[in-house]
Structure 1
Amino acid sequence: MSQSIVIQVGQCGNQIGCRFWDLVLREHAAFNKKGTYDEALSSFFRNVDARGDEHCAEDVIGGRNSKICYLKARAVLVDMEEGVVNHLVQSPLGEIFDQKCTITDMSGSGNNWAVGHEVYGPRHREEILQKVRASVELCNSLQCFFLIHSMGGGTGAGLGTYILGLLEENFPLIYRFVIAVYPSADDDVVTSPYNSVLAMRELTEHAHCVIPVENQALVDIVNKVGRAAGTGSRQSVVTESQGCLLTNPKAFDTMNNIVANLLLNLTSSARFEGSLNVDLSEITMNMVPFPRLHYLVSSMAPLYALADVNMPPRRLDQMFLDAFSKENQLIQADPKHGLYLACALMVRGNVQVSDIRRNIERLKSSLHFITWNQEGWKTGLCSVAPVGQPHMLLTLANNTCVTHTFSGIREHFNRLYKRKVMAHLHHYTEVTGMDLGCFSEALSSLTSVIDEYGHLEGTGSHLARSVPRMRIAV
């Protein structure tokens, strides 16, 4: 079975990563009743128990409070402030992290992409490479890096995208998937539009697949789930604080939980068996027809599964309809108003292939696919459902509706750029390696992506001559 390494960068990346490791251990504990180290666990964990595989996992996923942890997460934790990483390694989950794979500094990046990318990146370059290589050497079938970071801050956006470039340079054959959390329009970091646009250029150039997630879309989902749940249980999947950084549940814990579930469902086929398992390489092959247009819109259903809600399970067919509704998207966009280049349905649980095919036929009439890929569906079926749920659906769509998010970022950038003679730019240009040309190049790259998606949406059946085409595997 293939392995993946998770690289968590900045406060946001590490908090989401914390939730992911908590959930993935719970899932394996429910599936692996004997508590032994198996292929499923090897995808994200390594065995450090000299006694052998039959004992190594029992104290970790068997429910015992052992002082010795025999599983170590395939993870690298990076932040230019010590607080979040220190809290994480000292939390109930701290035993699973190899402290040799943590990288911290003292002062932070000051919400400045340039400091993260041009100062901390070169300063910690060798340390980052050394610790990533150490993790790579402990894999026997490494397939993918998952990079988790925010787009609005200095460390997440700046150092996160610097690390992405290092991965391409040093491990070009390993897939690079990015979970990027975009700031809300009213984000309290005034320079977040600059950080987002500068980071976008790096994501476009160096990632294989990017799954954008908007903070505001997460807030909307939390509110919707909250209305359905009423008052959440202290022991719910969403609000339970065990293994997380905060002792009191807060709204952004729930938001982190949603993103962690995205990664949990995305990697289910890599961890468990199924009749139609989807390899990560198949996602890039089937979902990315053009190298630069690798941004995938995601959604999950049912949403009530993300909270301890006393509701009867919804009909299976309704789950498919919900996943394509505007309210379930992890960005603020409606895919039904965009053009699909490709779409993946990643189903978990007690679902039959015939159920998937039936729902695809039901959905076809309401979804608009580009003419040269009318049958552009990729389907996956993992037999292991999420803990406590009969089934779950994750959709990934390469859809032109993503330009709604990108256009909003560009608008906020231009608004800030024009204010008071290019407000706050001096904080960036005083950093060695940065000048105004970096901003214009980044803005041009973002505009190019928007235009390429827009051209496809406008023509539908005609390919842009300026966009190189890749073959889509059927």
Structure 2
Amino acid sequence: MTQSVVVQVGQCGNQVGCRFWDLALREHAHVNKKGVYDEALSSFFRNVDSRKSSGAPCDIIGGRIQHLKARAVLVDMEEGVLNHILQGPLREVFDSAQFLTDVSGSGNNWAVGHMTYGASYREQIVDKVRRAAEHCDCLQCFFLIHSMGGGTGSGLGTRVLKLLEEEFPDVCRIVTSVYPSAEDDVVTSPYNSVLAMRELTEHAHCVLPVENQSLVDIVNKIHQMSNSGRLGSVPKGGCSVSSGLGGCSGAEKPFDAMNNIVANLLLSITSSARFEGSLNMDLNEIAMNLVPFPRLHYLVPSLTPLYTLADVSGPTRRLDQMFSDAFSKDHQLIRTDPKHGLYLACALLLRGDVHVSDLRRNIERLRPSLPFVSWNQEGWKTSLCSVPPVGHAQSLLALANNTCIKPTFLELRERFSRLYRKKAHLHHYLHVEGMEQSLFSEALGSLSSLIQEYEQLDATRTRVQPDAPRLKIAA
């Protein structure tokens, strides 16, 4: 059995990460009624009670999780979020050896996170990651979770990514990156994001970009449905995908629902590593099958059903509608429409009671509306995991390597350029030891080169194909 290690960096990375651990435990407890430490649990958790070997109870039922430790390293240059985790319901899942904190933070400055803290804490980070790796029988993948707009997530997060490549060059690196919206309250977020983009392009095997504004739009739409007063649009309890605090103490915050959606992305992508299925997909196969060019490894994620992801029950949706929704722009976790781009490859990760025949039928139905590059018309990767999210019959995650990501990068480049032309706030970065102005131009050049590569692929698209007709929602 293979194992993976999750590295959470910065406030956002740790809040999303802890929501993942919370929901993952609930999924395992729902399936593993006797609380037996089995191969499924060992993929992301280790048993620290030497008296309890594989096949013995490990107390995941009723919140008693004292014999399990998450395969994780938690890094933040402020203490607040990690202190809340230590005081919250997941405090037994982590120990202090897995934490790395400072007190002052990175001041929304990529250079402070990447250069200052990256140099100061290099050995400690490597040591903690190595210890987590040594607890694995067969280390398969590193999951890095971070945000792009702040200082620690973007700066130190990408420094950690580079360290993972240096120390474990043969282990797959999958990064979940939360991109800021255009109205982000951090004025320097375009600098931080573009500087981080260069590192992601050079050192990740694949990146799952998630956009704050897209998450806000999804949550707002869910709230509108919930408050509409229509029959069936009432909160539904008992789902592993419901909103919650994600292992932190205190009152629920507005962004908890947004973090919940990202955590469910991680639940879906790791489901085959955690549970059995008729067509399970190895995590290494994601990059192997979806990334034909090393730099073009940004995979647009979409989740369905979204409404029940937020604990709102609605009309029963046919399985075919779920497939249609997965290719609708309303279900993308980044604001883009894949039907307006060119597919390099696409993965469909299904959970629950779904048959291969259903999968093939829907691919054939949708294929005419999904333009693929000429040299990879059969560029589909599929996965069937038998265990659905708690409270649902099925779920679907689509990962599209699609040129439709280009407008997101164009917008980011424009926001960066508006600041850089005026040299606004540049002195805050250049005062940091090791930071040079040439790094800004190099980062901008890297992003422009990436955009150009997508444009070259777009130019090969000879005609625009019509959208497939939408199925009506079953009553």
> Aligning the two structures, in what range does the TM-score lie when normalised by the shorter sequence?
over 0.9
Change (3 A) 1:201 1:349: same
- Which residue is 1:439 aligned to? 440
**1:248 CA displacement:** 2.6
Change (3 A) 1:196 1:243: closer
* Aligned-partner residue type, residue 74 of structure 2: L
Aligned: 1:90 with 2:87:
yes
**1:233 CA displacement:** 6.3
Which of 275, 279, 283 pairs up with 1:280?
A: 283
Distance 1:344 1:247 in 2: 38
Aligned: 1:131 with 2:128:
yes
Distance 1:234 1:115 in 2: 43
Match runs of 1:346-365 below 5 Å: 346-365=349-368
Change (3 A) 1:431 1:57: farther
| Paired residues of 2:300 and 2:400 also in contact (CA < 8 A) | yes
- Which residue is 1:255 aligned to? 258
- Which residue is 1:111 aligned to? 108
Distance 1:362 1:51 in 2: 53
Which of 283, 290, 294 pairs up with 2:293?
A: 290
* Aligned-partner residue type, residue 269 of structure 2: L
Aligned: 1:154 with 2:157:
no
**1:245 CA displacement:** 2.3
Which of 260, 270, 273 pairs up with 2:273?
A: 270
The alignment partner of 2:295 has SS state of coil
**1:71 CA displacement:** 0.3
- Which residue is 2:137 aligned to? 140
Gaps of 5+ in 2: 228-233, 463-475
Distance 2:18 2:303 in 1: 20
- Which residue is 1:322 aligned to? 325
- Which residue is 2:21 aligned to? 21
**1:436 CA displacement:** 1.3
**1:305 CA displacement:** 2.1
| Paired residues of 2:4 and 2:43 also in contact (CA < 8 A) | yes
Number of corresponding residues: 456
Match runs of 1:161-310 below 5 Å: 161-230=158-227, 232=235, 240-241=243-244, 243-245=246-248, 247-310=250-313
The alignment partner of 2:34 has SS state of coil
RMSD, aligned CA: 1.5
Deviates more, 1:436-445 or 1:87-96: 87-96
- Which residue is 2:470 aligned to? none
- Which residue is 1:62 aligned to? 61
- Which residue is 1:10 aligned to? 10
**1:434 CA displacement:** 1.1
What CA deviation, in whole Å up to 9, does each residue of 1:250-302 have, x standing for no partner? 33101000000000000000111111101111111110000100000000111
* Aligned-partner residue type, residue 287 of structure 2: T
What CA deviation, in whole Å up to 9, does each residue of 1:195-231 have, x standing for no partner? 0000000000000000000000001111112222227
| Paired residues of 1:229 and 1:307 also in contact (CA < 8 A) | no
**1:307 CA displacement:** 2.0
Change (3 A) 1:411 1:57: farther
Gaps of 5+ in 1: 462-474
**1:90 CA displacement:** 1.7
The alignment partner of 2:255 has SS state of helix
Distance 2:399 2:445 in 1: 26
What CA deviation, in whole Å up to 9, does each residue of 1:69-92 have, x standing for no partner? 100000000000011111112211
**1:190 CA displacement:** 0.2
**1:460 CA displacement:** 3.6
- Which residue is 1:464 aligned to? none
Match runs of 1:362-381 below 5 Å: 362-381=365-384
| Paired residues of 1:56 and 1:71 also in contact (CA < 8 A) | no
Distance 1:330 1:18 in 2: 19
Distance 2:253 2:36 in 1: 34
Aligned: 1:416 with 2:415:
no
The alignment partner of 2:317 has SS state of coil
The alignment partner of 2:307 has SS state of helix
**1:51 CA displacement:** 1.6
- Which residue is 1:472 aligned to? none
* Aligned-partner residue type, residue 449 of structure 2: S
- Determine what percentage of the aligned residue pairs are the same residue: 67
Aligned: 1:430 with 2:431:
yes
| Paired residues of 2:348 and 2:396 also in contact (CA < 8 A) | yes
- Which residue is 1:465 aligned to? none
Distance 2:411 2:241 in 1: 29
Distance 1:191 1:433 in 2: 19
Aligned: 1:32 with 2:35:
no
* Aligned-partner residue type, residue 369 of structure 1: F
- Which residue is 2:50 aligned to? 50
**1:442 CA displacement:** 0.2
**1:244 CA displacement:** 3.3
Distance 1:441 1:203 in 2: 14
- Which residue is 1:397 aligned to? 400
Name the TM-score, length of structure 1 as normaliser.
Answer: 0.94
Distance 1:237 1:248 in 2: 19
**1:239 CA displacement:** 5.8
* Aligned-partner residue type, residue 6 of structure 1: V
